[in-house]
Amino acid sequence: LILEKPTAVNREELSELRRVARQSESRTVVSFVARWHPLVKNLRALLDRKALGKVYYTGVDYWHGIKPTFASYPWIRRREFAGGAMITGGCHTADLARYLKGEEIVEVSAYRCKNREDFDYFTTLVAAVKFKDGSVGKLSASLDGLAFPYQLNIDLLGTEGAIRDNRVYSRGLFPSQTDWVTLPVPTPNSGAVTHHPFQEEIDNLVSNIYEDVPVLSDVLDACNSVEVVIAIEESAATGKPVAVTGE
């Protein structure tokens, strides 16, 4: 089963999908395609090697100005279909933060604003997040950016170094390093779906079916990412922190 993200746009849908998925034996994959991106693969490998030491800050931004020429424009402007800016596109931020950090987010506190009238919901949100291990981070999503290119920013700070997108500073890997090292790999700074690694996603699912290789994003794991962004939308609406329980 292949499911597009987000897996749900409200808590009712999320709860029902979790219930069904927990009872099912189906092999699943969810299209959080950034997990298969070459840059993210390299960053995950560096983190597995403890290149940054203990990561204490994880930040991810999704800035995608949705233009009227986009195929998704007629429906993505409506909350009933999109769920909100953080849900429809910003879900990538929560998923990448969880995947790279390797910890669950347990609490969020968010703010929001709006800079366009053609959407019926707030189109820019930012959230402070707390991970299970006590570390912190920041997630943001903006659909307002019509005056600049799409950006998917990744910032990781650790006790032994830092990562800013494709730039790495690691005294563990490079003891005499004096400046950032730029990884020779594409960045995910394009909202065009032709740039997304769908083939790698499908290959992963096929390997899961025939060779029992774990998929990078199954339905239940993806639901944890979506719960985070639903909580962010709720926090921004109420002005209060919201817990993320995974239930």
Question: Which pair of structure tokens corresponds to residue 133?
Answer: 């291990």
The residues spanned by each domain of the chain are: 2-238
pLDDT averages per 10-residue partition of the chain, 247 residues? 93 97 93 94 97 98 95 96 97 98 98 97 99 99 95 98 98 94 87 69 90 92 98 98 95
Phi-psi region of 83 (alpha: psi -120 to 50; beta: other; left: phi over 0): left
pLDDT of residue 191: 52
Pairing of strands 124-131, 55-63: unpaired
CA neighbours within 13 Å on the CB side: how many for 221?
20
Q: Which long-range contacts (CB under 8 A, 24 or more apart) does 122-125 make?
A: 122/84, 122/85, 122/236, 123/85, 124/85, 125/84, 125/85, 125/86, 125/90, 125/232, 125/233, 125/236
Question: Which pair of structure tokens corresponds to residue 192?
Answer: 């065009």
Q: CATH number of the domain at 2-238, please? A: 3.30.360.10
CA distances in angstroms from 247 to 91, 143, 162, 218, listed in the order given: 18, 29, 33, 16
pLDDT tens digits for range 141-181:
999 999 999 999 999 999 999 999 999 999 999 999 999 99
Reported pTM: 0.93
Nearest to residue 159, comparing CAs of 58, 43, 54?
54
Other CB atoms within a 10 A radius of the CB of residue 229 amount to: 33
Residue 231 near residue 243, CB atoms below 8 Å? yes
Q: 132-159 as b/e, with b when 16 or more CB fall inside 10 Å?
A: eeebebbbbbbbbbeeeebbbbbebbbe
pLDDT tens digits for range 177-208:
999 999 999 888 865 555 678 888 889 889 98
pLDDT of residue 192: 52
